[in-house]
């Protein structure tokens, strides 16, 4: 897992040399832009105490309410090898470091299946690499903390695509 995390950090640092697309104000992540994205994690790219394998799919939406600051919401579905499938929804905030495309964020996720409910805060760091003027590929590393005893806190690597408009 340590090698995977180091490779992901190296990849993000290498990609930070890429020139980002600027708008008329000279800012990439400027106020009043909207964001839509999809991402996946799992497939042995994450680790927690309960299950070694999981698959997570999620859709995200956001709004840049100030230069470099985005309010973010997500919905998703996750399955694990030794646990039931569950639905998640969350909201949070993300900050973009304008000069390089690296971002950091904090999200509170609500997890649910049948009679089970849990709140899981998540911290993530990623890189928005522009493939075109509006389309990004976004590798990110995340840590999700369980709030229940015996839960499944864990780290992982997530890869997604986003569109800014």
Confidence of residue 23 (pLDDT cuts 50, 70, 90): very low
Beta bridge partner(s), residue 135: 163
CB 121 within 8 A of CB 111: no
Nearest to 31, CA basis, from 71, 68, 73? 68
**Residue 149 pLDDT exceeds 80:** no
Give all domains of the chain, ordered by start, each with its CATH number.
2-14+34-164 (2.40.160.20)
Per residue in 46-103, pLDDT tens? 555 555 667 889 999 999 999 999 999 999 998 877 777 889 999 999 999 987 899 9
């Amino acid at each position: 897992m340590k090698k995977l995390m180091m490779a992901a950090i190296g990849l993000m640092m290498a990609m930070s040399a890429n020139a980002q697309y600027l708008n008329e104000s000279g800012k990439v992540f400027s106020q009043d832009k909207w964001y839509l994205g999809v991402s996946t994690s799992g497939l042995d790219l994450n680790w927690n105490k309960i299950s070694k394998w999981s698959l997570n799919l999620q859709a995200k939406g956001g709004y840049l309410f100030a230069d470099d600051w985005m309010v973010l919401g997500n919905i998703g579905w996750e399955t694990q090898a030794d646990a039931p499938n569950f639905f998640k929804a969350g909201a949070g905030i993300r900050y973009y470091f304008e000069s390089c495309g690296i971002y950091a964020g904090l999200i509170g996720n609500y997890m649910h299946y049948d009679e089970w409910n849990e709140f899981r805060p998540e911290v993530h760091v990623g890189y928005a690499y522009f493939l075109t003027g509006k389309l990004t590929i976004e590798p990110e590393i995340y840590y999700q903390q369980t709030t229940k005893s015996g839960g499944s806190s864990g780290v992982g690597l997530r890869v997604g695509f986003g569109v800014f408009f």
